[in-house]
Structure 1
Amino acid sequence: MKPMYQQAPENTLASLVHGMEMFDAIEFDIRLTKDEQVVIHHDRSVSIDRSGFDKRSPYVEDWELEELLELGFCSLEMLLEHTDIQKAVNEQGKVLVVESKRPSLKVKKSGGWFEKNKHDAHMGKTMHHAEQLLDQYDIPKQSTVHYAFHKSMKNATTLGGIQRSWSTLLPTIRPFGGRNTHRLLALPEYVLTPFSRLMRKHQRNGSPMMPCAIEYLQSPTNMVPLGTTVGLKGRQLKRLNTIRKGFPVYVWPVKPSIEYDVLNAGLSALTDESDPTLTWLPSGHARWNQPATLPLDEAQRQRLDQATKENHLQILNELQDEVVPWKECDESRKRELLTFWRTKWQWSRSVDELLDQELRSGSMPWELVRMIGHRGAGKTKRPVL
């Protein structure tokens, strides 16, 4: 009898390696420590039991990297030097989505409430240090993207001398308060930024993809922004594809109940569900974890969609044996796959353009629909460790 799956704590090395094995990409959070090293950590405060602070500052930026590693947290360098991660990126075409986090406003070097230039400089420095490590470990530029909940990302990337692709998470989440405060303060921007405007912002910035909150695509929250309403089915889906014309969209967070609809709409999905025994989705569909790196053609997709709960494991096993990984596909096979997807989702770029970009960059086109492990293998409870 197989042991039950136990999810590793988020953003730890075990979680990140498992997420990369399960999916087409992983998304994780980085912060700059007191000694200006890059640690993988989401929360502003070190995510341990409060008794561990012993009257010292709880904020990650006030701790040195070695102290955090001793607690069990992971540095970016530890991740990048791991052979499984290097193989996944360089040999399988998988992607690293790197979210830079702003420190608490109570941290001195953050710039406090009003010194915007310091905010931008800190974000630029965080991305710069990350980029140095990505270059050191020969991670292809087109296999990574920086993003952050930071309005002036353009200035931050300029200050940091960032050479890799970047994007902005919108609506902006402030570096203070809790979940309810964040949502309340983000509401005006959400109301005034419909999906179409959100997309134009990212296209003007030259972003390779657009992060998108699930609220834009699900009722009733998709009715809140002013402008055209988009969604995952029917007329709303037609509007979505007409607006985006294949521009890559990464949706967060995507629960298993809507995972099929998100992927079937041609959108990439950030998931917190990395249990390998989850093979049948609540929507009544078999789960395919790597739609980009293990791509299904039209006939294979149809077989999977027609699977029943009773026979889906057999079909999944058959497909695992016969599917050719994207990196091993010849040009004819790639053309077949890209033509299928381009027709289904109304991509604007031609198949020749997509193949030419891959040839020049050495990386898979951003348009490919991906499953992405959120914080590695998924978000976990607090404290993380």
Structure 2
Amino acid sequence: MNESIYNDTKTKNILDLESTIIDRDENLAKIEIATLAIIFLVTVLGNGTVLLALWTRRRYAGRKKLSRMYFFILHLSIADLITAFLSVLPQLGWEVTYRFNGGFVLCKIVKYGQTLGPYLSSYILMATAIDRHQAICFPLTYCSWTSRRSKVMVWLAWAASLIFCIPQLTIFSYQEVSPGVYDCWATFPQPWGAKTYVTWYGISVFIIPLLVLIITYSCICREIWRSSPGELGVRHRQSYQPKPAVNKRIPLISRAKINTVKQTVAVIVMHIVCSTPFISAQLWATWDPHAYESPFLDGSAFTILTLLYSLNSCVNPWIYLAFNRELPRLLLRHYTASSKHYRSTGTGNSTSNSSGLVETTSDLHR
């Protein structure tokens, strides 16, 4: 029975691409190694810059407490770094050696870590979407939505991610794939094991978060659309008034909050663009009995496509820096200063020069 499961798994393992390659294509392997190396370097550089900017803002700019949006950005950057160090880097070493040479324990750890980053990124995006939905659609009740609730949502995202990675520990193990050759391989109960797990993974890491994101941001866009005519009308009337109106209407949605929504939507779009091809290909290869007859599945295009699953981790930090112009300005101003005057004023007085940088985005992170 175990031998039958092993043989079937060896021919139909879709979670580990290298296990289906008998004769290694060295040219393709070089492209894979180069792609993974670039993704790893850009991811570490970008997210490291974001974390350094947040630390500098807190340490030297008089902002001792992270705002809610910066708190979400912090954990999204951590999730991207987890993807870099626990998913991309081990896969890069695996591509170099072709066979996994880490042994039984390291096989379990690597396979557990390779799904932690994607889960964590998806669920923190969900928490961010729920928080933004509450702020835009229910601004009055959002005042009572304490920062503790936002933190609880993030910790729940961490807990769910750590739990949903546990099946990787039971599925993958260090096995003898051919006489004298060992590799980190998956074993599924037949005939339903692979279909059940791949379907569950696609639903839990992509489809459910996608539905939550679509619902929340549809409501947000509708609320912004509804508030825009009233806001424009107020501005139009005010332009013809010689003096400010006493009882003028204040827009419920500020430009800063709209900028926050644009930033998050950009991150979500990249998440969908990078994740959809991979998840779709895995589901197709699992459920279509004739998928393995297609040359696309064993071709270079499919291999590179799956490697780009982590591409959003190296794009996200640059989106954060583009939409939060305070962060790159703060880094440049702090680390290119010719003297320590800026650091001392920023540390001693929160209303000094550094506050001028924060002023333009203060409403964005409430």
Q: Which of the two has greater helix per residue?
A: 2
Q: Which has the larger radius of gyration?
A: 2
The answer to which structure has the higher strand fraction is 1
Q: Which has the higher contact order (CA 8 A, sep 6+)?
A: 2
Q: TM-score, normalised by structure 1?
A: 0.26
